[in-house]
Amino acid sequence: MHKDVSEILFTEEQIHDRVAEIGAAITEDFREKAGDDGIILISVLRGAAIFMADLAREIKIPCEMDYMAISSYGNGVKSSGVVRILKDLSSHIEGRHVVIAEDILDSGLTLTYLLKNLASRNPASLTVATLLRKKTKVQADVDCAYVGFECPDQFIVGYGLDYAERYRNLPYIGVLKPEVYE
């Protein structure tokens, strides 16, 4: 797998340190307003599961975890813009403080859909924590309260991000060589 990566953008140590910083910020921001109920941390499967697991360990207030599975890519490498919910939440979020743990904000189409869907369920608040925000020419206007890293508009893998379900288990985030996916 490592031979398919042209460069490492963010090392395992850099990711760990930044996730710890985001977890501390979420703890501070929600300590009082979420009270004893804490927050609900939601991850979109599968890419953000690793980020959410590490983030949850860094949050020092009560934190419930839930997952959704959403598809917008089909078999391609670009978002189709058509979003389908494959697995919905198990938790009720009405009146609760919700933090979405997102792996990467690329076009923003999927996240925009998700935010509208979750907002219709009347949470007390809805906040986005994304590990990566890709610098793209066209991106939906999505407010991310917490951003781990800005990254180039390249095909990246590792730390949950995949190509054809491979490379998710790389401990770093790197650029996939174009010959792998072209």
Torsional class of 163: left (φ above 0), alpha (ψ -120 to 50), beta (otherwise): beta
Whether the model pTM is above 0.85: yes
Note whether 67 and 91 are within 8 A (CB).
Answer: no
Could you say which of 29, 54, 106, 153 is catalytic? 106
Domain boundaries of the chain, sorted by first residue: 12-151
Tens digit of each residue's pLDDT, the chain (182 residues): 799 999 999 999 999 999 999 999 999 999 999 989 999 999 988 889 999 999 999 999 999 999 999 877 555 555 556 788 999 999 999 999 999 999 998 888 888 889 999 999 999 999 999 999 998 777 778 889 999 999 999 999 999 999 999 999 999 999 999 999 98
Is 106 noted as a catalytic residue in this protein?
yes
Q: Domain spanning 12-151 has what CATH number?
A: 3.40.50.2020
